[in-house]
Chain A
């Protein structure tokens, strides 16, 4: 199945490199939502994610002629998204924070009482994780990239991805347990 996915990715990349407009439509239809979810979780802000996702698509269009191996399309796309998100996060953290301590405290006192609330809480806690841990969790569990692809996106060895994923899972579990989630 992974082999077929890779071949489909490569075919789509080649059709884009040839300049076929329908291929770009198909590429956007396939990857826009995963990119949006990734950027939204990484930036933690819908407005920033909306700006970032358009920037990512323009960079994809401008960079696709230089993509040598079409089978690496998904890692290449998420690599671009990561660079855009990191640039925005760097800019954001160089400015004073806009969220007050009171608001953060209020958000932290919610008590989940059903599955939907647990999921909402998990997303909230995911957002509180440091960016390096958050992004490996998102790429592995939500975007279903392999360890090798994550290593390529993040620019670290596969072994480091594995240990970071372990650390991230543990941190998220600890945070959820602190909030009273037992599942």
Chain B
């Protein structure tokens, strides 16, 4: 060990490392990937489940595409829970994105079902999207509550500390 007590890695270096890790853009990129992967999986699964008498090779192709969609979903979820974790403020933004995206997905699927020849697969996709919308709204409510609780505690602590100062 050298005799200096100064850290070999400086405060500024660690601050740079952490600020890179905190990038909101990267987080929102993974949230977008997650939403698109889920939507793709829902659309392909809807076609697969509702189309009658599909040839075996088409069924295999659909199964592979659903597998790919689920893999991307798993990967994005892993990144967002283990690597680029979502802090309370990020969770609220991510949940709002999910609500907006799934609402468009539900409305788009319903519109396709009503005004085009797509028929049953579009309604099945709308059903999947509806489930995603319910989950997204639940996440928005819970992340908003967590954010408000933290803000409430933060203000209380700031008041207490300013009185004690």
Give the docked Cα–Cα distance between A168 and B153 (Å).
40
Q: Which of A21-29, A84-92, A153-161 makes up part of the contact surface?
A: A21-29
Given contacts A7-B160, A18-B151, A40-B1, contact A53 B14 (CB under 8 A): yes
Q: Is the CB of B2 within 8 A of A46?
A: yes
Most buried by A among B8, B86, B153: B8
Q: Is the CB of A14 within 8 A of B154?
A: yes
Q: Which of B15-23, B67-75, B116-124 makes up part of the contact surface?
A: B15-23
Q: Is the CB of A61 within 8 A of B7?
A: no
Q: Is the CB of A65 within 8 A of B1?
A: no
Q: Is the CB of A32 within 8 A of B22?
A: no
Chain B interface size, under 10 / 10 to 19 / 20 to 34 / 35 or more: 20 to 34
Q: Is the CB of B150 within 8 A of A17?
A: yes
Nearest chain A residue, comparing its CB with the CB of B86: A65
Shortest distance between the CB of B62 and any CB in chain A (Å): 36
Contact digits for B80-91, partner A, Cβ 8 Å, 1 yes 0 no? 001101111110
Shortest distance between the CB of A69 and any CB in chain B (Å): 11
Nearest chain A residue, comparing its CB with the CB of B157: A11
Nearest chain A residue, comparing its CB with the CB of B84: A62
Q: Is the CB of B7 within 8 A of A33?
A: yes
Contact digits for B145-165, partner A, Cβ 8 Å, 1 yes 0 no? 001001101100110110010
Give the docked Cα–Cα distance between A40 and B19 (Å).
24
Most buried by B among A8, A19, A37: A19
Q: Is the CB of A19 within 8 A of B153?
A: no
Query: Inside 8 A of A49's CB, which chain B residues have their CB?
Result: 8
Q: Does A50 contact B (CB under 8 A)?
A: yes
With beta carbons under 8 angstroms apart, the residue of B7, B19, B87 that contacts A65 is B87
Nearest chain B residue, comparing its CB with the CB of A29: B11
Contact digits for A51-82, partner B, Cβ 8 Å, 1 yes 0 no? 00110011001101100000000000000000
Give the docked Cα–Cα distance between A40 and B157 (Å).
34
Query: Inside 8 A of B158's CB, which chain A residues have their CB?
Result: 11
Query: Inside 8 A of B88's CB, which chain A residues have their CB?
Result: 17-19, 65
Q: Which of B58-106 contact A (CB under 8 A)?
A: 82-83, 85-90
Interface of A, secondary structure class, is helix
With beta carbons under 8 angstroms apart, the residue of A10, A32, A44, A47 that contacts B157 is A10
Shortest distance between the CB of A33 and any CB in chain B (Å): 6
Give the docked Cα–Cα distance between A120 and B14 (Å).
28
With beta carbons under 8 angstroms apart, the residue of B15, B82, B85, B86 that contacts A25 is B15
Q: Does A169 contact B (CB under 8 A)?
A: no
Nearest chain A residue, comparing its CB with the CB of B161: A7
Q: Is the CB of A53 within 8 A of B7?
A: yes
Shortest distance between the CB of B94 and any CB in chain A (Å): 11
Q: Is the CB of A57 within 8 A of B14?
A: yes
- The chain B residues found within 8 Å of chain A, CB to CB, are 1-3, 5, 7-9, 11, 14-15, 17-19, 21-22, 82-83, 85-90, 147, 150-151, 153-154, 157-158, 160-161, 164
5 closest Cβ pairs, A-B complex: A19-B87, A19-B89, A36-B7, A50-B8, A11-B157
Beyond the given A16-B87, A25-B19, A46-B8, please list 8 additional residue pairs across the A-B interface where CB-CB is below 8 A: A10-B153, A11-B157, A11-B158, A46-B2, A49-B8, A50-B9, A61-B21, A64-B87
